[in-house]
Amino acid sequence: MDGLIWQLSVAVIALAFVALVVFLIKTLKAAENSLDKTSQTLQEVQKTIDELSYEVKQVVRHANGITEDVQGKMKKIDPVLETVKNVGDILNEVTISAKQVSSALIDRFKKSPAEIRGESTFSSASAAKAAVQSPSERTVDSYAAVYSDKKTKQSWVKWVDVAAGVWQRYRA
């Protein structure tokens, strides 16, 4: 009986080993299928990455072209911006000059008639003329009366008045 138990034990062990091998084969086949699918997926991902890298390179090249174009245009605009800055500086100087002339004129008008008669040859006829004149004409005339070189000073003041008028219209 001892021999029969041995044979039976060996047969059970052989059947268990066969069952184990069958399950291992099924598991290995499933793992092989998973690895094949993973390999296919990785190949597809690699192909997609290659396509995307080409497109990204194209986008970068296009962006570089746009950047170069914008830089070129900015270099072309720089002189215009410098000119606008210079015009602003000039208008600022003209405004300051107009303020100075206006202040001098206001100071002159604030003086009493006795002070004006004592300091200048401002007659009642010229006072009547000043009352009828426009503010810019009064500015030119009063400036010319104060300074002896009438032609140079008068033309300069006219230009200041014109510039001040342009500046006021520009600001409005």
Domain ranges of the chain: 2-171
Give the model confidence (pLDDT) of 111-167 as tens digits. Answer: 755 555 555 444 555 555 545 556 656 665 665 565 555 455 556 667 777 777 787
Give the model confidence (pLDDT) of 46-93 as tens digits. Answer: 999 988 898 899 999 999 999 999 999 988 888 888 888 888 888 888
Among candidates 110, 88, 89, 100, which has minimal Cα distance to 156? 100
If 0-12 CB within 10 Å is exposed, 13-18 middle and 19+ buried, where does residue 160 land? Answer: buried
Whole-model pTM above 0.85?
no
> What tokens appear for 42 in the block?
């990785």
What phi and psi values does residue 148 have, to the nearest 5 degrees? Answer: -80, -35
